[in-house]
Amino acid sequence: MRGNGKASFWAMIAPGPHNLRVYQVLVLALVFALWYALTSPTLLPPIYFDDPNQAAFFFGEPQKVLARVWNWFVSGEIYRHLWVTLVETLLAFAIGTGFGIGIGIWLALTPQAAAIFDPYIKALNAMPRVILAPIFFVWFGLGIASKVALGVTLVFFIVFFNVYQGVREVSPVVLANARMLGANERQLLRHVYLPSAMSWVFASLHNSVGLAFVGAVVGEYLGSAEGVGYLILQAEGVFDINTVFAGVLLLTVFALVLDWMVGIAESRLMVWQPRSGETERL
């Protein structure tokens, strides 16, 4: 009886479809409450800093951070910067994904070309992308183009390797059956290779859009005149820690919204994908 009671208790508090969001909101509220308590000079005695006000100077104050975000939206100042960051992210994601899919399929279907370019692709992938930012600034200026170029270098390789692997791992049974039914190379590309490659692309879609976002923000931070990364850089220059945390908080929410949108697109576009094992049985 005691064991059943414990099992019922844990089953009751376990995150289910109805109370999962409640638990997530509670965790967020706990984080902000702890942040407020640790940076308030009156709630807790000094733990790390001798002066209680130093904690707020280094870590900001959540109420002021939220107020700064609110003022951004009320004044309308933030919309232009958010739009610039969004355009840079979407362009980097689209261009990087397009190049990754095209070159990945080409090299996967031409082993000789893959063998020739293999060391160069590995060398470029191992190169830290941040060191390319000054070069892109010289080539494309401090506008959107340099941020898009930096984001493309981040997105391309993750899409390329997924597409390359997806095409190479197409089931031989599926290829043999398609050829027996009279499919030519163009039909194989459209109905066999591309669906297999797109399955791998969507598997890495969340990482791809995240890297495009990182490329845009890092590019803005290193050199720009607009964008959320630019706002953070300006705030750091005057030691405005609350504005820095406001920018970080805004970027976090923005990234979660992008990830949510990718999840919606993935669930709608991947309806056709068979479950594991169904292809082989067919």
Domain residue limits, the chain: 2-59, 68-281
Q: How many degrees, rounded to 5, is the angle at CA 98 between CA 94 and CA 99?
A: 120
Evaluate the CA torsion angle 90, 95, 98, 99 in order and state its sign: negative
Evaluate the CA torsion angle 192, 198, 200, 202 in order and state its sign: negative
- Tens-digit pLDDT string for the chain (282 aa): 455 555 555 555 555 556 777 887 888 888 888 877 777 766 655 555 556 566 666 777 788 888 888 988 888 888 888 898 888 888 998 899 889 888 888 888 888 888 888 888 888 888 888 888 888 888 888 888 888 998 899 889 888 888 887 777 666 666 666 666 666 667 666 666 777 667 677 777 777 888 888 888 888 888 777 888 888 888 887 888 888 888 888 888 888 888 888 777 767 766 555 554 444 444
pTM for the whole thing? 0.74
Side chain identity at residue 136, one-letter code:
F
Q: Which of 116, 111, 155, 153 is nearest to 133 (CA)?
A: 153
For the chain, how many residues are written? 282
Q: In the numeric block, which tokens belong to residue 62?
A: 């959540």
**Environment class of residue 5 by beta-carbon count within 10 Å: exposed (0-12), middle (13-18) or buried (19+)?**
exposed
The rounded radius of gyration (Å) of the Cα atoms in the chain is 25
CB atoms within 10 A of CB 3: 7
Does 1.10.3720.10 match the CATH number of domain 68-281?
yes
**Environment class of residue 175 by beta-carbon count within 10 Å: exposed (0-12), middle (13-18) or buried (19+)?**
middle
